[in-house]
Structure 1
């Protein structure tokens, strides 16, 4: 079935392969942008291919690793600032954390007491 629907262009293993840790050859349509020094780097943007560095070689250098660490730190800082803003859900979570265990048990026992009272009332009505 595969021979009917596919195109065969020679042997797939005829060309030399590449190592798994090396980047694929760069595409001609991929734009390259650099951040000017002193400017705040933009976090996010279009998706990128994993391992797609600027050097085109396989190993990578310490400056690439430092750049990756700096970008990861900036992204982590942005996430931390976004989480500190809070909101309705965050306020509810903080209120729940402030409750002591005794408060929680007290609420549970009151709920259980109400349920037993309702069961007793339903049983009394059923016997009449």
Structure 2
């Protein structure tokens, strides 16, 4: 089955080949625009949603706002949150405290399994 909307691919060997020691054909390039066309395309455009007069104050103001927002995010992330505090508390625990918690959890699991067997009369 082929592509319904696409053009068929040319056969791989439909064109004559070239020798391995020869250079590949140069790609076709578009002509360069003249100076007037470059001047029109290189001029700074208007910022979307900006006023009709362009100036550096709009760009500077936007940069300042972006920098302030980034600084606020950096300060907020350095404070830490709930997960950060939990991780710090976990790191402060000693190995014996961690092993005691694991032991208690395993003991509770065994007690629950024993209770299930008692209730099912096995």
Would the TM-score normalized by the shorter structure come out above 0.5? no
TM-score of the superposed pair, with normalisation by structure 1: 0.43
Bigger fraction of residues in helix? 2
TM-score of the superposed pair, with normalisation by structure 2: 0.44
